[in-house]
Each structure stands twice: as structure tokens, then as C-alpha cells.
Amino acid sequence: MAERIGENLYRLDIPLVGSPLKNLNSYLITGPRNLLIDTGFREEPCREAMTRQLEELGADLARTDIFLTHLHSDHTGLSTELHRPGCEIFLSQGDGEELLCRGTDEFWRLRNENYIRDGFSRAEMDELWGSNPAKELAPHLFRDYTPVGEGDVLEYGGYRLRCVSTPGHTPDHMCLYDGERRVFFSGDHVLFHISPNICRWESMPDALGSYLRSLEKVKDYPVELLLPAHRAETGSLKERAEELLAHHRRRLEDTVAAVESCPGMTAYGIAGAMRWQIRCRGWADFPLTQKFFAVGEALSHLDHLLLRGRLRREERDGTIRWYPNDKGAT
């Protein structure tokens, strides 16, 4: 059931079946024109929940625009199905370009080859080909996104929403902030109970560094209602941003310690040595899709440390291995 959380503002609970994220918080602002923020995977459980809750609220899709905080399929998957002629789908320029690239098999073939260089087996990547939600549950190809950028303002239902660029989780992640009402739609930039996945992106030389700067950028915003994209938990923007900054400082030190304890590991091996909040007995028991995200996050931390001279990498026989910067390869 849709939950009223403010004037003309509702939270729609969209289940993400099989995902450790559990749910998506989609938000609807109602008025002469509605604004729907994020949509869920392109699959039946999300579709059914979204349709039912929109009908409960009497939301007319023919006068509903859609805002996508970022390109991930749990946020964008249903967007093209919900879109109606004459309506807009807002998405940042960078994420829109990336989403178009991800709509081709060639993109995923190249991505898989890179992950094999980082330690995945070819058999694992072949298995992921038909089961990766980033590929399989993404929206249908769409070329008419309305690009939005830093400082753009969207007005719906009495809310004046300023677009805030927060790159890191994706190359051009976007939040929405109403300074007068002190409402902040944080997407996946700030989450509670779980930490946003920060992975390597080919278009970002230092995704983690970008994310840390984006946290610093927003942490002092005056916010009374913080609306994250996943789980029911919410709270103080400043306190949670500080917690996330500290979390990544610890993870960077854990990454260095893993490389120093066993020089020459791949990113896959380093991810297996890192600590994760997941109900598994060990790395061997991780679901393959979660290994994919974990290695991506390990790579973002390795890149950050590489750029700061703390680690180095070498490629031999098609495999990339990592070493402390003050020691030779062994």
C-alpha cells in the first residue's frame, strides 16, 4: 500500500525479489502533473506492485513525468513501460549516455572480458551473461531522455526540487533537494542499514574519490526529511554521511592490509579477503551476482589507492595482480 509521507508526497514500496536490497522506495509527488521518482526492475513483481499502488492513488500516467536518480536497473527498469506520450523521463546526461551504451551486447562482452582479467573465471562470466540483473532487468532501449544537471529545478505538487549532482555510485548520480521544505531525495547516494555499492566505472578514473567528495558536498544540507531509495531506515543526513565516510576509510585500510598480506592477488581474490555484510559462510558461498558487485567495489578502492601511490598493479598473461607500492612483485 502506498504510504503518505508529506503533502502531495507518497512512498511506493516496490519489492526487489531475490535482491539483498529487499525493496525500492519509489516516490510519487501528486499535482496537476505528477512526478514519479524511480521505478523498479523490469519484472513482474515490481510491475504488479507499481501498477497497484499507482491505481490506489488514482495517478494518471498520461500526466506523470518520471525522474530517475541514476541508471541502475532497479531504478530505471520499468521507466519505459510507465512512460506515456507527452510525458518526460528525466535522467542526468552522463547516466543517460552510459545507459544507452549498456543496451548493447558488445558492451557486456567487453565488461566480462575485463572482469576475467580481474580474476573471474570465464565459466563464471558465462553464467552471469543471462542472470545479471544489470543486464537482464534494465529498461527497453529509449533515446528520448530529458537530460538534467546540477542546479536544474523541477516543480511538482508544491515542491521546488533542485537537481544535485552526486557522482560516485554511478558516473552522474542525481539527488533532488527542496531547500524550503528541507526534503532530500537521496537515491542510492545515502542509504541506511546498508552502504551504497561503489564500483569501478570506465568513465570515472576514481569512482570512490568522486563518491567521497559527493558525500562532503551534501552532508551539511539542512534536511528534515531524508528519503533514501532502499529500506525503511532513515535519519540524519550529516550523521549518516559521516558514517559512510568512515566506512570507506576503514575499507581502504582493509584493502591495503589484504594486498600486503598476500601480494599478487587479483581483485577477485582481494574482494574475497574483504569483510562484507552478507549472510554467507565465506567467499565461496557468495551468490555470483554478489561477487560481481563485490569485485566492482574492490576495484574502486584499489583504483583510489593506486592513484594515491599506495598500491601498484601488473598485468601478466592476461591477468591483473596487485602489490604494495614499496615492494617488488613476487
Residue 50 sits in the same domain as residue 142: yes
CATH value at residue 161: 3.60.15.10
Residue 31 sits in the same domain as residue 90: yes
The radius of gyration of the chain from alpha carbons, rounded to an integer in Å, stands at 20
Residue 330 lies in a domain: no
Write down the pLDDT at residue 278: 62
Of the candidate ranges 14-28, 47-61, 128-142, 239-253, the one whose mean pLDDT is the lowest: 128-142
Q: What is the pLDDT of residues 39-70, one digit of tens each?
A: 999 999 999 999 999 999 999 999 999 999 99
Residue 249 sits in the same domain as residue 268: yes
Q: pLDDT at residue 330 above 70?
A: no
Q: What whole-number percentage of the chain has pLDDT above 90? A: 85
Return the bridge partners of 320, or none.
315
Write down the pLDDT at residue 328: 42
Instruction: Find the mean pLDDT for residues 307-316.
Output: 96
CA-to-CA dists, residue 297 to 6, 106, 206, angstroms: 35, 23, 12
In this prediction the pTM is 0.94
Q: pLDDT at residue 286 above 90?
A: no
Q: pLDDT at residue 327 above 60?
A: no
Residue-range definition of the domain harbouring residue 14: 3-103+138-235
Instruction: Find the mean pLDDT for residues 292-316.
Output: 96
Single out the residue in 211, 235, 259 at which a domain terminates. 235
Write down the pLDDT at residue 329: 39
Instruction: Find the mean pLDDT for residues 76-104.
Output: 95
Q: What is the pLDDT of residues 129-187, one digit of tens each?
A: 888 888 899 999 899 999 999 999 999 999 999 999 999 999 999 999 999 999 999 99
Q: pLDDT at residue 207 above 60?
A: yes
When the pLDDT of each residue in the chain is averaged and rounded to a whole number, the result is 94
Residue 160 sits in the same domain as residue 55: yes
Residue 86 sits in the same domain as residue 117: no
Residue 78 sits in the same domain as residue 194: yes
